[in-house]
Structure 1
Amino acid sequence: MKPELKKILIITYYWPPAGGPGVQRWLKFVKYLPDFDIEPIVYIPENPTYPIVDGNLEKEVADNVIILKNKIFEPYQLASVFSKNKTKKISSGIIPNKKKQTFLDKALLWIRGNLFIPDARVFWVKPSVAYLEKYIIENNIDTIITSGPPHSLHLIGLVLKQKIKLTWFADFRDPWTTIGYHKSLRLSVRAERKHKALEYRVLNTADRVIVTSKTTKTEFKEITGKPISVITNGYDNEPGTEVVLDSKFSLAHIGSFLSERNPVVLWGTLAELILEIPEFKSHLELKLIGAVSQEVLDTISQYNLDSYLNNIGYVSHSEAVAYQRNSQVLLLIEINSEETKSIIPGKLFEYMVSNRPIIAIGPKDSDFADIITGTNTGVFFEYYEKEKLKNTIISYYNQFLEGKLQSYGVGLQKYSRKNLTKELAQLIHSKS
């Protein structure tokens, strides 16, 4: 006889039709949790302001999943009166380079960082607690999971934990006060202290903390003695048509290309190869799929790479997967800073199962460097390693000319969404 499913409440901001990487983690966990005797109930905003929308993802939500919705007030709705484009970019994490910020940029960042702590979804906390406290009691739910960012959702868990006897898992898809853009928010001393105080309370009140990288776990262990588990993001077995590789030597970057991720070392290397290898320029294609900052586009232009650029823009997740599989080489770029070495981009795992080699550029001791090396799916470079990067591109190009360019990944199954959900389910059942 099949055991009765254990009910858990998942509190998340990003849910279909939201697009981008933030929605994927819990969309897939919810998909597989019933296979491990857990019934997920999902709580989301009724009228969110999503910077990216992907309607195709709604097809992946199981028909029998209980979805709870409650209205949310977001200041971005008011801020868009001044500049809809700027508020949308800030909401999605694209922050202009400090040297090029306008007065309006600076004002919006100051307001975002100092008036809305921890973030602009903080006004959803109070109505959510009122709504969920009643629902949790009436439906005998004893386990909740909050997912951030936005980290204001952890404050919902914090208050509910204080009001009701329950088990609370705080899931951090990204760090809080050490995330790359945190320093760009023009925080006052008071605001910085409040962020750190809230982070401390969440980490020391939750029954268990879940993070996506070992570096974040190390950072959080300095703040709390509560148990911390690493459950990375992963890949799903996406359906697809037959793969037809690009006829060009295409280097594709998929996802948001922020100003701080601008890999000048890569653009310079490509410009040199165009001059040094006569046939290289007839084969090269640089594909950018997703939102791209103007600073990145300006630098590409400075290196005379415009004629090789195919700036495709945002596409649905299914289209992004197709671009991954069809491209010759995949680019993974992370900001060159101490704060970003813990970031493991969600797209990495889909890259790894695309059978296309990865060129990854990031800071020293990046967590994702270990994954790429350990799975034999590409090569990682620090920003100063120009000769190594150049030699790798030449090697990939020669393999392309011979029709032999491919990656040969090993040990990828551990990163499948279903296996990762099994790890999560074991944590949930162990707390029952």
Structure 2
Amino acid sequence: MKVLLITYYWPPAGGPGVQRWLKFVKYFSEFGIEPIVYIPKNPTYPLTDESLFKDIPKGVRIIEHPIFEPYRFAEVFSKNESKTISKGIIAKDNKQSLIQKLLLYIRGNFFIPDARKFWVGPSVKFLSKYIEDNNINTIITTGPPHSVHLIGKELKDKLDLSWIADFRDPWTTIGYHNKLKLTKRSIDKHKALEKHVLNTVDHITVTSYTTKEEFTEITNKPISVITNGYDTEKVSDIQLDTKFTVSHIGSLLSGRNPEKLWKVLYDLTEENTDFAKDFRLRLVGAVSEDVLSSIKEAGLSIFLENKGYVSHKEAIEIQRSSQVLLLVEINSEETKCIIPGKLFEYMISGRPILAVGPKGADISKLIKETNSGHFFEFQEYSEMKKVILECFRKFQEGNLITETKGIEKYSRRALTKEMSSLLKRFNK
């Protein structure tokens, strides 16, 4: 069965956005699916990772078409500000420069649904002929960027085909939307586009249960939850760190700033000499200045190891060598639905997870279900301190481990089998 995948993120793009469909494509052939991947020819990726090319199966057809990227023009105002915004790192309102405020207003109100909107028209024109010439009956769009779904909508309007829209993140309730200086008119336009897509598509896939509930209020179309997952990574034997490393892998945006956790960690260094001697806070990936400032103000700078962005392979190695893995989600109602892909990689690493997020977050259910660690709300102090101290005690005794359960269903191969079954049901 042939399916056409339309995606903006593809190697050499780095970061979590590329992982989901790269892994589906990796295993599709085992389940009778022949993917054809459509990507931009000249994209502006905020992060790159050449190591991900190894996961693209030999013989997979990849077709490209040029894209106009306005971020290149935004660099005329400020290259650093443009790159920062494209990575999703947005400072708090009172710390934004005039240029950043201007760029956010332009991005939010002149590029709806996003800055990749100029790829829609050329892609529809190019793909209409390609789909007919190659006898393709099923297409998949994956967003963000949600402008990719507009390609699917227009192709669905023009051609007799089945369309599945995959939402790695929600649309109008995504965490950064309220920072884009949106006017009421722009908000209404986003909601209208979202509603039109959700009611035109044949089937919707989402990565979290909360997003499914949210979309159910907008459409009667069928919705399936197919989460992100973990892959079996080939890495050499990894030795655990000799220090008590608490590692966060991935972007730490301004909204992901667990100030209460920094307070807990600082108090432990003040109250426990052994903890102060062995503790290290390791951050891997893009980190906002707001977060770094909070860590400094909390008195943790001397314990901080800020590594910046690393390849996916190195990130996996760091996960498996760390004593404890830290997961932080933005503390808002809108982000309860976010289940980051790294959660599943954390699970398979065998290291205990300390997660901080909003009340009722989907990640709390998964962590409890799999016995993979502990979840805390942002303002918890006593319980957070108690658990971290217990982890440190086990570290000192040499038995800091976690015994996960039921995580096999989150393997990339198992999830691809589920996605393949769905595709075959909707194939015309």
TM range (shorter): over 0.9
* Counterpart residue type for residue 415 of structure 1: Y
| Structure 1 residues 187-206: aligned runs within 5 Å | 187-206=182-201
* Aligned with residue 337 of structure 1, among 327, 332, 344: 332
Please give the alpha-carbon distance, in whole angstroms, between the structure 1 residues aligned to 2:418 and 2:53.
25
* Counterpart residue type for residue 327 of structure 1: S
Large movers: runs of 4+ above 3 Å: none
Q: Does 1:263 align with 2:258?
A: yes
- Percent identity over the alignment is 59
Q: Does 1:243 align with 2:235?
A: no
Please give the alpha-carbon distance, in whole angstroms, between the structure 2 residues aligned to 1:10 and 1:245.
39
Structure 2 match to 1:16: 11
Task: Give, in angstroms, the shift of residue 98 of structure 1.
Answer: 1.1
Please give the alpha-carbon distance, in whole angstroms, between the structure 1 residues aligned to 2:263 and 2:199.
47
Task: Provide, for residues 68-99 of structure 1, a one-character-per-residue CA deviation record: whole Å limited to 9, x for no partner.
Answer: 00000010010011111111111111111111
| Structure 1 residues 384-395: aligned runs within 5 Å | 384-395=379-390
Structure 2 match to 1:113: 108
| Structure 1 residues 373-412: aligned runs within 5 Å | 373-412=368-407
Task: Give, in angstroms, the shift of residue 165 of structure 1.
Answer: 0.3
Q: What stretches of structure 2 of length at least 5 have no aligned partner? A: none
Structure 2 match to 1:87: 82
| Structure 1 residues 300-311: aligned runs within 5 Å | 300-311=295-306
Please give the alpha-carbon distance, in whole angstroms, between the structure 1 residues aligned to 2:211 and 2:298.
36
* Aligned with residue 32 of structure 1, among 27, 30, 47: 27
| Structure 1 residues 27-176: aligned runs within 5 Å | 27-176=22-171
| Structure 1 residues 289-304: aligned runs within 5 Å | 289-304=284-299
Please give the alpha-carbon distance, in whole angstroms, between the structure 1 residues aligned to 2:79 and 2:317.
30
Task: Give, in angstroms, the shift of residue 209 of structure 1.
Answer: 0.5
Task: Give, in angstroms, the shift of residue 345 of structure 1.
Answer: 1.0
| Equivalent residue pairs, number | 427
Structure 2 match to 1:3: none
* Counterpart residue type for residue 87 of structure 2: S
Structure 2 match to 1:254: 249
Task: Give, in angstroms, the shift of residue 398 of structure 1.
Answer: 0.1
Please give the alpha-carbon distance, in whole angstroms, between the structure 1 residues aligned to 2:76 and 2:239.
45
Please give the alpha-carbon distance, in whole angstroms, between the structure 1 residues aligned to 2:195 and 2:298.
45
How large is the RMSD of aligned CA atoms in angstroms? 0.6
Please give the alpha-carbon distance, in whole angstroms, between the structure 1 residues aligned to 2:76 and 2:180.
20
SS at match of 2:283: strand
| TM-score, length basis structure 2 | 0.99
SS at match of 1:301: helix
Structure 2 match to 1:430: 425
Q: What stretches of structure 1 of length at least 5 have no aligned partner? A: 1-5
User: Which structure has the higher relative contact order (CA within 8 Å, separation 6+)?
Assistant: 2
Please give the alpha-carbon distance, in whole angstroms, between the structure 2 residues aligned to 1:417 and 1:227.
23
Please give the alpha-carbon distance, in whole angstroms, between the structure 1 residues aligned to 2:314 and 2:198.
37
Please give the alpha-carbon distance, in whole angstroms, between the structure 1 residues aligned to 2:126 and 2:402.
49
* Aligned with residue 209 of structure 1, among 201, 204, 215: 204
SS at match of 2:392: helix
| TM-score, length basis structure 1 | 0.98
Task: Give, in angstroms, the shift of residue 279 of structure 1.
Answer: 1.4
Task: Give, in angstroms, the shift of residue 233 of structure 1.
Answer: 0.3
